[in-house]
């Protein structure tokens, strides 16, 4: 054995080193893989729990699925207002996403392409609002919504979430890098700024639009603090707020609770799996690591 191992040594040091490196690589890769499995375990355990019967959940520490029942899911769907909350979540998240993109795109285009008085000031405001914590404004935002009679409405959930300075900043960055010639071609044809934006800048930046749409959607879908404050009626709750009510209704029926959790998580998990690369890209772009 030792002969075999020492034999190549005389020729050159490289092979021995690459063997050591290969072992190191295998060991570190295995550790990473195991860590990933440990990391995802809570989600796995949620899934396993949710397909067991309630009687079989308590004290069952078997890590493998030993039952496949959908009772908990049926129960979650028919005995809670989950479907109403889905509707509220989808509705508000879609509206916020569309409006945020529209508002931010227009503002970013003007900031990037048109010289107008107050431009610098406006960009300063955008940057500043990016840096202050909107969560601390909830008290007075709530009072405002109360004054506008928007408590327990979609509009109440939506309106304060429309301010997304980071989307403006990202759009502006991308618009800044569009070559001048592209806009001049449209100007020569007599097209105005809106034509340039929608015929040239938007198509050129579809990638960034989809990326921003996905992260905005996920962010709004998951928003908890504000919807939790502005909605008190169960019928108007979004998914993240609604599912906190289920515990009180079910007591400690963990199979059902985990089925509800799975159902609440499913849309974002699916969205993430489908758009994984876009999500990754969007996060890197909006945190300024890549641009």
Partner 1 sequence: MAMIENRRKKSLVALTMVTPFLVTFTIFFLYPMLKMIELSFTDAPLIGAGQWIGFDNYAKLLSDRLFTISLKNNAYFVALTVVPTTAIALLIALGISRLSGVRQTLVMALFFMPYVLPVSVVTEIWAWMLDLQFGILQPLIALISGKPVAVFKNPYWVMPTVAVVTIWWTNGFNVLLFLAGLRNVPAELYEAAALDGATTWQKFSRVTWPLLWPVTALVLTLQLILQLKIFDQIYLLSGGGPFNSSYVLLLKVYREAFQSNNGGYASAVATVVFLLIAVISVLQFQLLRIRRNS
Smallest separation, CB 276 to partner 1 (Å): 6
HEC readout, 113-178:
HCCCCCHHHHHHHHHHHHHCCHHHHHHHHHHHHHHCCCCCCHHHHHHHHHCCHHHHHHHHHHHHCC
Among 23, 35, 83, 98, binds partner 1 (CB under 8 A): 35
Distance, in Å, from the CA atom of 108 to the CA atom of 119, rounded to the nearest integer, reads: 11
Structural contact between residues 221 and 89, judged by C-beta atoms closer than 8 angstroms: yes
Question: CA–CA distance from 139 to each of 145, 156, 160, 171, 290 (Å)?
Answer: 10, 14, 12, 31, 36
Quote the crossing angle between the two packed helices 254-274 and 206-222, to the nearest 10°: 170
Residue numbers 217-276 binding partner 1 by CB under 8 A = 218, 221-222, 224-225, 229, 239-241, 243-244, 247, 252, 254, 257-258, 260-261, 264-265, 268-269, 271-273, 276
Smallest separation, CB 59 to partner 1 (Å): 6
Among 67, 193, 202, 210, binds partner 1 (CB under 8 A): 193
Q: Which is nearer to partner 1, 2 or 117 (CB)?
A: 117
Smallest separation, CB 261 to partner 1 (Å): 5
Smallest separation, CB 267 to partner 1 (Å): 10
Q: Which stretch binds partner 1 (CB under 8 A): 1-9, 51-59, 171-179, 204-212?
A: 51-59
* Residue 204 sits in the site that holds partner 1 (CB under 8 A): no
* Residue 59 sits in the site that holds partner 1 (CB under 8 A): yes
Smallest separation, CB 288 to partner 1 (Å): 7
Distance, in Å, from the CA atom of 194 to the CA atom of 106, rounded to the nearest integer, reads: 9
Question: CA–CA distance from 291 to each of 106, 205, 210 (Å)?
Answer: 20, 13, 15
Smallest separation, CB 78 to partner 1 (Å): 20
Residue numbers 110-149 binding partner 1 by CB under 8 A = 110-111, 114-117, 119, 122, 125-127, 129, 131-144, 146
* Residue 170 sits in the site that holds partner 1 (CB under 8 A): no
Structural contact between residues 174 and 248, judged by C-beta atoms closer than 8 angstroms: no
Among 4, 61, 64, 188, binds partner 1 (CB under 8 A): 61
Burial class (CB in 10 A: 0-12, 13-18, 19+), 102: exposed
Site size toward partner 1, by CB under 8 A? 96
């Amino acid at each position: 054995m030792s002969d075999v191992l020492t034999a190549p040594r005389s020729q050159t040091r490289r092979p021995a080193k690459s063997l050591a490196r290969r072992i190191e690589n295998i060991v570190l890769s295995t550790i990473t893989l195991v860590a990933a499995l440990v990391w995802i375990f809570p989600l796995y355990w949620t899934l396993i729990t949710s397909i067991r019967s309630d009687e079989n959940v308590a004290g069952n520490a078997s890590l493998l699925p030993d039952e496949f029942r959908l009772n908990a899911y049926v129960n979650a769907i028919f005995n809670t207002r989950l479907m109403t909350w889905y509707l509220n979540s989808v509705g508000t998240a879609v509206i916020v996403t569309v409006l945020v993109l529209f508002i931010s795109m227009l503002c970013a285009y003007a900031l990037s392409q048109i010289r107008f008085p107050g431009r610098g000031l406006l960009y300063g405001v955008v940057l500043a609002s990016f840096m202050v914590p909107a969560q601390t404004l909830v008290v007075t935002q709530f009072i405002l919504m109360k004054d506008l009679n928007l408590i327990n409405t979609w509009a109440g959930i939506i309106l304060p979430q429309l301010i997304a300075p980071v989307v403006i900043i990202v759009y502006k960055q991308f618009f800044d890098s569009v070559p001048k010639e592209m806009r001049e071609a449209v100007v020569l044809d007599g097209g105005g700024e809106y034509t340039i934006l929608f015929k040239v800048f938007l198509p050129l930046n579809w990638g960034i639009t989809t990326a921003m749409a996905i992260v905005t959607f996920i962010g709004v879908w998951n928003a908890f603090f504000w919807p939790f404050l502005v909605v008190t009626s169960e019928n108007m709750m979004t998914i993240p707020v609604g599912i906190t009510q289920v515990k009180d209704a079910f007591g400690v029926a963990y199979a059902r609770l985990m089925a509800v959790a799975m159902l609440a998580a499913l849309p974002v998990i699916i969205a993430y799996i489908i758009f994984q690369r876009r999500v990754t890209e969007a996060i890197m772009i909006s945190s300024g690591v890549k641009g």
